[in-house]
Structure 1
Amino acid sequence: MTDTTCSELIHRVKTHLQLIYPEHDIQSICQNLLHIMQLEENTPSPPNHQNHWSQEDVVVITYGSSVIKEGEKPLHTLHRFFNEHLKGVVNSVHILPFYPYSSDDGFAVMDYSKVNDSLGDWVDIEAISQDFRLMSDLVINHCSSRSIWFENFKQGKSPGTNYFYTATPEDDISQVVRPRTSPLLREVPTPEGTKYVWCTFSHDQVDFDFREIDVLYEFIKIIRLYLDRGVKIFRFDAVAFLWKEPGTPSIHLPQTHELIRLMRTLVEHAVPDAIIITETNVPNHENLSYFGNGNEAHCVYNFSLPPLLVNSLISGSCKHLKRWLMTMPPSQVGTAYFNFIASHDGIGLRPAEGLLDEDELATLVNTISQFGGKISWRSANGINKPYEMNISLFDALQGTYKGPDKYQIDRFICAHAVMLALEGIPGIYLHSLFGTTNDYERVNNTSQNRSINRHQWQADELDAQLDNKYSHHHKVFNRMRKLIKIRTTQPAFHPNAVQFTLQLGEELLGFWRQSQNRKQSIFCIFNMTDKEQTIAMAEINLIDTEEWFDLIADSKVEDLRSTLTLAPYQAVWLTNFRG
């Protein structure tokens, strides 16, 4: 079959491959990839630029073992908890790496084809995927040094002997961008002599060499397996570091972007409504590049949102957050932002570079430290810089730069009201639903800063806390559920609906959302301070021929010529149409 007569699928796959592997047999690689993905040459291409999401989509991010019960597999416990407490509230769940692993709470994968026995099995994963849209990690940059592949590498055996990227101490690695301060190269004895394996993160996380076609084949097999097990959303972990070249920063290289495009082509032909989300914890402009031309990631993590929003709420000024919102390009049809403000990791600071100045970053880091947080560092040109702040979001918002105060819950709910209203798909960390606090015991046990926000709840204890109306966990959970339920019924909160930033000063954050059919408007206004704020209704420009309602307060606006008074950290969603 010639290129002039081949199908669109074949043509697209070959085009990707020619840009990544120009020295290889493209025809053979293409046929092998289609075979692995169970695709026919004439498989029809899905329509371009389709949104596989709506305002109804809310993703809860959780470890498989975040809720546990003695004598029961954690995935079974988690599934029951979701069905009892979140069914009909959220429709998607991101289960963080559920594979056998050796470190980093799952991100040093030993076997991609298995479910960790301590969590459950594939039957449990498939059962969850029947009730909730399932999001899973593709830990694609590296695997565990205890994996069979790396054991084979050390013994010169296949599969694995050519799977890992090696360099030499003489190579120029001075420009390599790192999220860690550990040495980049790990010395490893092999039958062919000492080799130096590239380790972007830790020496237990050895980097793959995607120059080798066998590595590409392995990951396409993994993707096909996950699709068959019910995964609909793929989180490409640490994908920015995928392709390495000494003498370069080894981040965001062209081959990395083209590999993502290749995998998207294969995935969307196999399961047209599957979604790829890239996890790139980098400065904002670099992060946005993973949209490509609407042909790369369906969604990108909105990494600048967490540090900017936390900074706004504890400083009392939203000027930086507002300026950032005004510069964010609207996502094209078929792409969307993935918004989050808390996760299993910390609050990244690299995405705030260029958005907050050095003094503001230092003040933010110092405040989080005073609130009990830990600070993780990275090396940049031989200088250690703060990389992320490790703290539960509930504790991060316990006060302002002046110290803790009585508005912790209100401030916390306000943060989520902002996120739920913004353009994009919201991802909510399970612990944010309850207002889980810092877990210092877990930090002591693991000696890892990130463990501070990876608490494991005993199911019975969590149920008791959620049933106790005096518990802050009960208060947070019920207010969060209410906000989510409101959000998911409003057309103007569609991830791709229009968003326009309002100019209401530094103390009030405001933006306008409009449904895609233009029938619904929602004016979202938030008091970012610990003081009461007042604004004339006329400044919001509500159309006076329509009735307006506050969705959160469930009340009608009686007089559009009056003033709107917001209590500290109050959120208001004003609409002309109740969804």
Structure 2
Amino acid sequence: MTSATDETTDFQETHDRIREVYGEVPDVLAEGLKSLINTCRTASVETSGASSEANSGASSGNPLWDHRDVVLITYADQVRALGLSPLQTQHRFLTDNGLEQLIRCVHLLPFCPSTSDDGFSVADYLAVDPEFGTWDDIHALGRDFDLMYDLVLNHSSQAHEWFQGFIADNPQYAEFYATADPSEDLSSVVRPRSLPLLTPFETPSGTRYVWTTFSADQVDLNYANPQVMLRMITTLVEYALRGARIIRLDAIAFLWKQIGTSCLHLPQTHAAVKLMRHVLDRTVPGTIVLTETNVPHQENISYFGDGNDEAHMVYQFSLPPLMLDAIHSGDTGVLADWMRSLSLPSDQTTYFNFTASHDGIGVRPAEGLVPPERIDRLVQIVRDHGSRIGMRANSDGTESPYELNITYLDAVADRRTVSAAEHSRRFLATQAIMLSMRGVPAVYFHSLVGSPSDIDAVKTSGIPRRINRHKYDAEELNAALSNPDSLQRRVFEGYRRLLEVRRRHVAFDPKADQEVLDLPTDGLIGFVRTAADGQRVGVIANLTDQPRTIRIDPVKVSYQCDVLAQEDLSNAMPLSLRPFQVRWLK
């Protein structure tokens, strides 16, 4: 039980965190957070020893993560069938295929009622869209998997009751949304999309120009108003109480607005993340904070803070474009050098490794790492493969590539020119590397099942990102995976095999050390993972279309077998690799 002295000290820390954001301690926020923390503590004492939906990792002494952690990224309505809600249907698909044995956590992309952007324009933060199912469906899924939710906190939908109150001049919501005078110089503001920054709305008191970073329907919340901060932190805690082990802070980098700046990664934004982490640690300890910042690497990892006060995890946004560059250029040197540069500030932090998600493949995270001409080549390859390029507006009025809109499967090879067998080998090589790297791996549903780019969805909707957001009918999905010679079946079975083998090796724990090997950079890359108990796995990859033979320093990697190929080997003999083969040596 918390003593009075400890409680006083704790709330002083809360006040310090609030002051970092606002320069003062607004009473409404201080009192609101004190009430929230005390309520959660009281509930925790009352339910001590009983089962609870809330995550209890740190509070029960369990580690934040281990080698069994793999996250599946998926939409709540990813799979549909008659007679079941989409959430129930997807749950059934996952368990029918034994994936609860291979995947520990399911990241449900925004499942709240929404008016645009496939869920990222939230109209009610605490409801489940009835088209997808119910909270009971989510809690049922949570009995077989840990859960990860999105907090879409930069903006809400125009349809949200807060915004409706704002445009009705309801004084309760008068300062809930960020506004600006369109005559002011906003040229320094970093834009993720080539759309107007301000959108006019008519109110009884006149026209209000509201900040709309992502679209006119996605209206930016005003965190300079402590009432907004309190509402959103309360929502954050509620998500953890409703079963979220990991909470993704969507588009967090844009949170704070200050005219005359880039409005990106401002000190108040970092302070806001620290405040959110502070409150979660005191209300639902063990909940993992993940920041989503699709920016160059050094900017991205700044959200680790000092290693103990900000994000537990950050997305490894540089990995997808660097892996793609390596497999197309034949030069693995950039990828290897970047991997050597990776470090973590504490054992309370790790990377969220992925190659694909609901968004495109970000180009900005490769800036400063890959020569511009090689980025241009990736853009051209994606266009040659029949896919799309997302653009962003620059301050000088020009546009630059922002993301590659294509499934990662179709980005690594052109299905029109390679066989299904070779295509799957190329793709699974990239996934085997990602799954091996230090951090928690995340697998997008469409990578798992080998989905093709959905060009028809782009043409029908006019939305380039729909290219890798295909929603399946259950019969359609089962039929696609039933043909043993099809690309989708090859990818699905190959991926399941990778996950099955990975789960058996503690050297893939996020805490295990990682050392990049000195190998030829003409398509080869290798590294060694070493667990705390000394267990090692050497990862050697050939990302070329030619067989290779190399010798591995037995001091770095002493091995007797390849656990992926189930092949006995000897350190005394040269190591052979087929085209696009990845070996896990032990």
Shared fold by TM > 0.5? Answer: yes
Correspondence for 2:281: 268
Give a deviation string over 1:187-244, Cα, whole Å, max 9, x none. 1122222111111111111100001111012112212322232112100000001001
Q: CA deviation at 1:336?
A: 0.6
Structure 1 residue 146 and structure 2 residue 159: aligned? Answer: yes
Correspondence for 2:35: 35
Structure 1 residue 460 and structure 2 residue 475: aligned? Answer: yes
Measure, in 2, the Cα distance between the counterparts of 1:159 and 1:138.
Answer: 23
Measure, in 2, the Cα distance between the counterparts of 1:288 and 1:438.
Answer: 30
Correspondence for 1:15: 16
Whether the 8 Å CA contact 1:392–1:437 is kept in 2: the answer is yes
Q: CA deviation at 1:275?
A: 0.6
Give a deviation string over 1:351-397, Cα, whole Å, max 9, x none. 00001121111111001111122001001122200000000111111
Correspondence for 2:52: none
Name structure 1 gaps, 5 residues minimum.
none
Report the count of equivalent residues.
566
Q: Matched residue of 2:481: which SS?
A: helix
Equivalent residue for 2:353, pick from 339, 347, 352: 339
| Partner AA of 1:285 in structure 2 | Q
Whether the 8 Å CA contact 1:537–1:562 is kept in 2: the answer is no
Measure, in 2, the Cα distance between the counterparts of 1:360 and 1:531.
Answer: 22
Measure, in 1, the Cα distance between the counterparts of 2:319 and 2:62.
Answer: 25
Correspondence for 1:508: 524
Residues 136-535 of structure 1 aligned to structure 2 (within 5 Å): 136-157=149-170, 159-294=172-307, 295-330=309-344, 332-381=346-395, 382-399=397-414, 404=418, 407-506=422-521, 507-518=523-534, 520-535=535-550
Q: CA deviation at 1:22?
A: 2.7
Correspondence for 2:573: 562
Q: Matched residue of 1:194: which SS?
A: strand
| Partner AA of 1:52 in structure 2 | L
| Partner AA of 1:94 in structure 2 | H
**TM-score normalized by the length of structure 1:** 0.94
> Is the alpha carbon distance of 1:318 and 1:66 closer, same or farther for their aligned partners in structure 2, counting shifts above 3 Å?
same
Whether the 8 Å CA contact 1:20–1:258 is kept in 2: the answer is yes
**TM-score normalized by the length of structure 2:** 0.92
Give a deviation string over 1:292-316, Cα, whole Å, max 9, x none. 0111001000000000001111222
Q: Matched residue of 1:87: which SS?
A: helix
Q: Matched residue of 2:430: which SS?
A: helix
Whether the 8 Å CA contact 1:538–1:561 is kept in 2: the answer is no
Give a deviation string over 1:73-119, Cα, whole Å, max 9, x none. 10110111122121211110001000111110000111111111110
> How many percent identity over aligned positions?
40
Structure 1 residue 132 and structure 2 residue 148: aligned? Answer: no
Whether the 8 Å CA contact 1:317–1:528 is kept in 2: the answer is no
Q: CA deviation at 1:555?
A: 2.0
Structure 1 residue 120 and structure 2 residue 133: aligned? Answer: yes
| Partner AA of 2:469 in structure 1 | R
Q: Matched residue of 1:167: which SS?
A: coil
Whether the 8 Å CA contact 1:243–1:255 is kept in 2: the answer is yes
Q: CA deviation at 1:121?
A: 1.1
Whether the 8 Å CA contact 2:423–2:487 is kept in 1: the answer is no
Equivalent residue for 1:82, pick from 94, 105, 108: 94
Give a deviation string over 1:168-187, Cα, whole Å, max 9, x none. 12322111111011111111
Measure, in 1, the Cα distance between the counterparts of 2:404 and 2:373.
Answer: 16
Structure 1 stretch 533-542 or stretch 180-189: which is displaced more?
533-542
Measure, in 2, the Cα distance between the counterparts of 1:355 and 1:129.
Answer: 39
Equivalent residue for 1:64, pick from 71, 76, 84: 76
Whether the 8 Å CA contact 1:417–1:571 is kept in 2: the answer is yes
> Is the alpha carbon distance of 1:399 and 1:527 closer, same or farther for their aligned partners in structure 2, counting shifts above 3 Å?
farther
| Partner AA of 2:16 in structure 1 | T
Cα RMSD, aligned residues only:
2.3
Whether the 8 Å CA contact 1:65–1:456 is kept in 2: the answer is yes
Measure, in 1, the Cα distance between the counterparts of 2:223 and 2:501.
Answer: 45
Name structure 2 gaps, 5 residues minimum.
46-55
Measure, in 1, the Cα distance between the counterparts of 2:6 and 2:148.
Answer: 37
Q: CA deviation at 1:7?
A: 3.2
> Is the alpha carbon distance of 1:42 and 1:292 closer, same or farther for their aligned partners in structure 2, counting shifts above 3 Å?
farther
Q: CA deviation at 1:162?
A: 1.6
Give a deviation string over 1:500-555, Cα, whole Å, max 9, x none. 1111111211011100122x111100001111111024477434xxx522110112
Structure 1 residue 551 and structure 2 residue 552: aligned? Answer: no
| Partner AA of 2:217 in structure 1 | D
Measure, in 2, the Cα distance between the counterparts of 1:29 and 1:184.
Answer: 29
> Is the alpha carbon distance of 1:255 and 1:51 closer, same or farther for their aligned partners in structure 2, counting shifts above 3 Å?
farther
Q: Matched residue of 1:285: which SS?
A: helix
> Is the alpha carbon distance of 1:363 and 1:463 closer, same or farther for their aligned partners in structure 2, counting shifts above 3 Å?
same
Measure, in 1, the Cα distance between the counterparts of 2:453 and 2:120.
Answer: 21
